[in-house]
A = this chain, B = another copy of it.
Amino acid sequence: MSEVMKQQPFHPEIEDVLPADVFAALGDPIRLGILVSLAAFDEVDKVRCGSFTELASPSLLSYHFAKLREAGITRVRAEGTARFISLRREEFDRRFPGLLDSVIETARRDPSVPRISNLG
């Protein structure tokens, strides 16, 4: 009954994001796996955070989601009991033109990066 609304997670202003923080966030195979899986799925903003449990445990996923989110790479939206994760495509591309594409291509091509088969 309380009027307390569900707090959406914190997202940095894209101008405040520094290159070194972006690269640090990309410096982990699980996070690269989240990134390539997200990029491979075409229905934006329809991917539940829980879809990634074959990459890591729920609690570890939450940690990695936070890293990506704090680096300005992803956005997380809470809806009911679920959470949806998506790329901050336009903003990020404006801030760092061309970077995300070559990062995704690099990760996509490499077998050391884990993947989610059936997302969504």
A-side residues, CB < 8 A to B, are 18-29, 32, 96-99, 101-103, 105-107, 110, 112-113
Contacts and interface: CB of A to CB of B under 8 A. Distances in A.
30 contacts: A18-B29, A18-B110, A18-B112, A19-B29, A19-B32, A19-B106, A19-B113, A20-B26, A20-B27, A20-B28, A20-B29, A20-B32, A20-B112, A20-B113, A21-B27, A22-B106, A23-B23, A23-B27, A23-B32, A24-B27, A24-B28, A25-B27, A26-B27, A96-B106, A97-B105, A98-B105, A99-B105, A99-B106, A102-B102, A102-B103
Given A27-B24, A27-B27, A19 B107 contact: yes
Contacts of A112: 18-20
A104 to B, nearest CB: 10
Contacts of A24: 23-24, 27-28
Contacts of A22: 106
A24, A106, A113: which has the most chain B beta carbons within 10 Å? A106
B110 A102 contact: no
A92 to B, nearest CB: 11
